[in-house]
Copies of this chain bind each other. A is one copy, B any other.
Amino acid sequence: MGLLIRNVLAVLPAGQAHAVARHDLYVEGNQIAGIDEEPQGFVATQTIDGTRRLAIPGLVNAHTHTYMSMMRNAADDLAFTDWLFGTVVPIEDRLEPEDAYWGALLTQVEMIRTGTTCFNDMPMFVDQIARATRESGMRAVLARGLQGDAYDRDDFRLAQTMAARRENADCSRLTFRLGPHAPYTCGPNYLRMIADVAREEGMGIHIHIAESQDESDNMLRDHGCTPVEYVRDAGIFEAPTIAAHCIRVSESDRAILAQHGVSVVTNPASNMKLGNGFAPVPEMMAAGINVCLGTDGAASNNAQNMFREMGLLALIHKGTHDTPQCVSADEVLSMATRNAATALGLPIGSIEVGKKADITLLDLDAPSLTPLNNAVAALCYSASGSEVSDVIIDGRIVLRNRELLTVDEERVRFEIARICARLGLQG
């Protein structure tokens, strides 16, 4: 059983950068088994002609909330408190478990069609997200959102996390993390409990830190420290940690994040949309922090499309820093692929022998990729995601010539319309 992608223009790692050249890619099982060199005993049961295709590592959406897609464009151009407490939370309070399943499936359809193969999620109803992900064929890291004050090992949200982890131990595409929501929703003792569980179970952490100025102001007033210091002091950074946002992080905060090997996920669309500003991405890179890229959930970023996000990331810091030589296309592609692999501790994120076969193919006949001139630049500055023709995840073809093989999209649309009607959304 083997998949051969023949004569494809492929973006391979080359030191810190990328090199683009024609290759034959051999996939055996769920792995990349050979590049140009046919593995011993390889039998091609499927072949894709790559002549007019560009192969890139599957994109990794390093921070999102996939269940939220029914809220897409339901709360726009609103002040933060009206957005969160006027719209998002009242809808969340009325969600049924099944709604999260359909919501996650819709998000995954959009992600697969735009070349994302893996996502790092902070959901409600984590068992439903696992169910959707098993069906769609995507790779995911799930960290059910946790919040509380006490050092309570019987916390029900933690129990849900551990149950979903046990129940999905048979699926190698799914891994689980602990997801303390944020410094402002988790007390120090609760965070200490999470840190202890993480150490004992060998689990990673996924948390929001320093998303808004209010968060920093309140932390200083109530605890006399920054959000980064608060989370560090609770011992969270002793586990492998992925911190979303980190917009309001001082030079000292950045040094703390770098020192503890915390990976940061920047979410440019969501941060701008909610009026939270621009994360200091060039400064975090300079501090040696491993920076990744995410969309955030559909309530604050109404597109779950990593090409859109790569385009934003490659542009906005050139704007804020008044120079075209700031956050290069090459760096952005790394943030959307191998940096995320490092953060998640998964053997993905690059087209290399031995890595899992998570590969996205783009159609080189698309006008936006004509002429190509520079493939890596084109991925950031020209592609919209619509160029994606084929997606391979864990060695399996999930999207073939723009046909999605794993999900009944018409059924998803039907169920989402039903859910929106019940929730009083326009649909």
Contacts and interface: CB of A to CB of B under 8 A. Distances in A.
Contact of A318 (B113, B273, B385, B413): B273
A361 to B, nearest CB: 16
Given A377-B77, A381-B273, A382-B303, A371 B420 contact: yes
Contacts of A76: 329, 374, 377, 381
Interface stretch (A188-196, A223-231, A282-290, A308-316): A308-316
Contacts of A326: 275
B275 A323 contact: yes
A318 B367 contact: no
A79 interface: yes
A416 interface: yes
Contact of A381 (B73, B324, B373): B73
A155 interface: no
Given A72-B371, A427-B371, A324 B274 contact: yes
Interface residues of A, number: 74
A370 B275 contact: no
Contacts of A382: 72-73, 302-303
Copies of this chain, whole number: 2
A16 to B, nearest CB: 14
A77 B329 contact: yes
A351 to B, nearest CB: 20
Nearest to A378: B73
B80 A417 contact: no
A318 B385 CA distance: 24
A277 interface: yes
Given A271-B319, A303-B382, A312-B315, A373 B77 contact: no
A365 interface: yes
A120 interface: no
Interface string A70-82: 1111101111100
Interface in A321-349: 321-326, 328-329
Contact of A302 (B110, B278, B324, B377): B377
Interface in A50-87: 69-74, 76-80, 83
A276 interface: yes
Nearest to A413: B370
A324 B416 contact: no
Interface of A: 69-74, 76-80, 83, 106, 109-110, 113-114, 213, 268-269, 271-278, 301-303, 305, 307-308, 311-312, 315-316, 318-326, 328-329, 365, 367-368, 370-374, 377-378, 381-386, 409, 412-413, 416-417, 420, 425-427
Given A79-B324, A275-B324, A303-B368, 4 more contacts: A76-B377, A80-B324, A312-B315, A371-B417
